[in-house]
C-alpha cells in the first residue's frame, strides 16, 4: 500500500534560519509526490510536486523539496524562514487512481 509519513508533529525555527519539514514515502513504482500548506481557516494550497527529473524541485513562496530515492524521502526546505510561513504542511503521494494519500501533517512555527 502507498503511504507517506511525516515524523514530526511540529517544527520550530527562528525567522531567517533555514527550515526543513520531513517526509518519507512508501510506494511501489515511481512516486508522484506533493507538498501542500494549510493556513488557519483556509484550504490546502499547492506548493510543489515531484514527478520525474531533477531531484531538487522548486515551488511557490521560495520553498523547494529534495527527492531522495535511496532514502525514500521528499523533504521540504526553505533557505530563510519567515514568520508568515507558520502553518500546517502536508506531504502527499498520488495513488493509482489519482487520489492523494496524505501524511498526518507537520505544524511549522517560525518565531521572530
Partner 1 sequence: DSGVTQTPKHLITATGQRVTLRCSPRSGDLSVYWYQQSLDQGLQFLIQYYNGEERAKGNILERFSAQQFPDLHSELNLSSLELGDSALYFCASSVGRGGSDSDTQYFGPGTRLTVL
Does 28 participate in binding partner 1 (rule CB under 8 A)? no
Q: Please, which residue, 82 or 100, has the CB nearer to partner 1?
A: 100
Does 46 participate in binding partner 1 (rule CB under 8 A)? yes
Minimum distance of partner 1 from residue 81's CB (angstroms): 24
Binding segment for partner 1 (CB under 8 A), chosen from 20-28, 55-63, 73-81, 97-105, is 97-105
Q: Please, which residue, 25 or 90, has the CB nearer to partner 1?
A: 90
Task: State whether residue 62 is helix, strand or coil.
Answer: helix
C-alpha cell at 98: 489519482
The whole-angstrom separation of Cα 38 and Cα 22 is: 16
Q: Please, which residue, 70 or 97, has the CB nearer to partner 1?
A: 97
The whole-angstrom separation of Cα 101 and Cα 24 is: 12
Does 90 participate in binding partner 1 (rule CB under 8 A)? yes
The whole-angstrom separation of Cα 48 and Cα 59 is: 5
Does 29 participate in binding partner 1 (rule CB under 8 A)? no
Burial 66-78 (b: 16+ CB within 10 A, else e): bbeeeeebbbbeb
Q: Name the residues that contact partner 1, by CB under 8 A.
A: 34, 36, 42-46, 49, 51-52, 90, 94-105
Amino acid at each position: 500500500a502507498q503511504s507517506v509519513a511525516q515524523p514530526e508533529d511540529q517544527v520550530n525555527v527562528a525567522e531567517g534560519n533555514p527550515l526543513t519539514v520531513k517526509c518519507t514515502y512508501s510506494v511501489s513504482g515511481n512516486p508522484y509526490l506533493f507538498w501542500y500548506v494549510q493556513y488557519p481557516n483556509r484550504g490546502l494550497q499547492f506548493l510543489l510536486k515531484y514527478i520525474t527529473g531533477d531531484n531538487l524541485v522548486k515551488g511557490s513562496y521560495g520553498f523547494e523539496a529534495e527527492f531522495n530515492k535511496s532514502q525514500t524521502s521528499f523533504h521540504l526546505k526553505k533557505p530563510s524562514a519567515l514568520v508568515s510561513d507558520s502553518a500546517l504542511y502536508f506531504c502527499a503521494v498520488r495513488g493509482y487512481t489519482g487520489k492523494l494519500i496524505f501524511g498526518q501533517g507537520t505544524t511549522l512555527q517560525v518565531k521572530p
